[in-house]
Amino acid sequence: MMAMNYKFDREAVSDAGAFGKVVVLLGGTSSEREVSLKSGDAIYKSLKAQGVDAYKVDPANDLFDLFDVLSEATFDRAFIALHGSGGEDGTMQGALETLNIPYTGSGVLGSALAMDKVRSKQLWKGLELPTPSYAVYARGVSMDEVIGAVNLPVIVKPSGQGSSIGMSIAHDLQSLRTALEEAAKYDAEVLIEQWIQGAEYTVAVLGEQALPLIKLETAREFYDYEAKYLANDTRYICPCGLEVREEEAFQLLALDAFRSLGCQGWGRVDFMVDGQGEPWLLEVNTVPGMTDHSLVPMAAKAAGLSFDNLVWRILETTVAMGDQ
């Protein structure tokens, strides 16, 4: 198997002072708050170490208080490290656009679509991109009717949550009912997705480029919250072991899925590969984790970028042509 070469354009910003005053938004009020705090702190420390005039703001209070803080502090750009609702779903992106503050990652539409697992799948289905069959359970809908329409096993997911929060696999009708009740605690809509037996991969996207694939292996039934952030036996395999042509094909698919939702800047695309070698798109993360267990920094390292390089290049995406 040949090694893949990753080439990156020269840095668009060579002087940290060109970024101006940068706010790192972290924490927030979503169920992913603790992960966001870790991601944001790692980003903040990296920016400070590289000479960037960076500050941390935790928008855990009322949004209007945040408006005052951001506008009065006259920040030049924002690095969004908020995971989940309120930070990754277009809400914060809209607030920053109202304040005319450039920010990292996808815009309002891309953020909202990617955060909504049901709408993502509807769009991919319309574009004939491969994604597992699914059903939707919503509050007020007969649970029995939905249960009778799916083929087990399935994986049940709150539509607007990340970090595998509220997710579980159902192998029988009783476990499906329990899974739906659990997922409905987190979201008004619940995605019931056909379980794909196979290998799980993730593709990090940086700018217009897909980074090396990472294959995920866990002793748990699936790559859940504990496997992501707590377990020490989760395996991250990179190089992923695929032939170069196959990896390149999956990277192109990931870019298609990413762009189809209107996403930009940086992010991560997760998918499964079944026993016949066919890929199945699962979801796009527009503000992936940046902790010591996170996947985008691993992929960047495999492509020759240190954590500091990665953070710098993500922040560069906020600098428009001629804005130097």
Annotated active-site residue in 116, 193, 224, 270: 270
Annotated active-site residue in 168, 283, 294, 313: 283
To the query of whether residue 268 is one of the catalytic residues in this protein, the response is: yes
To the query of whether residue 289 is one of the catalytic residues in this protein, the response is: yes
Annotated active-site residue in 110, 166, 229, 247: 229
Q: How many CB atoms lie within 10 A of CB 60?
A: 14
Annotated active-site residue in 85, 289, 294, 313: 289
To the query of whether residue 32 is one of the catalytic residues in this protein, the response is: yes
To the query of whether residue 245 is one of the catalytic residues in this protein, the response is: no
DSSP conformation letters of 61-76 = S-HHHHHHHHHHTT-S
Cis peptide before 158 (omega within 30 of 0): no
Annotated active-site residue in 33, 77, 268, 313: 268
Burial 184-201 (b: 16+ CB within 10 A, else e): bebbebbbbbbbbebbbb
Cis peptide before 153 (omega within 30 of 0): yes
To the query of whether residue 285 is one of the catalytic residues in this protein, the response is: yes
Annotated active-site residue in 163, 164, 168, 294: 163
Annotated active-site residue in 32, 88, 193, 247: 32
DSSP conformation letters of 6-64 = ---PPPS---GGGG-EEEEE---SSTTHHHHHHHHHHHHHHHHHTT-EEEEE---S-HH
Rg (CA), the chain: 20
To the query of whether residue 33 is one of the catalytic residues in this protein, the response is: no
- Catalogue the active-site residues: 32, 163, 229, 268, 270, 283, 285, 289
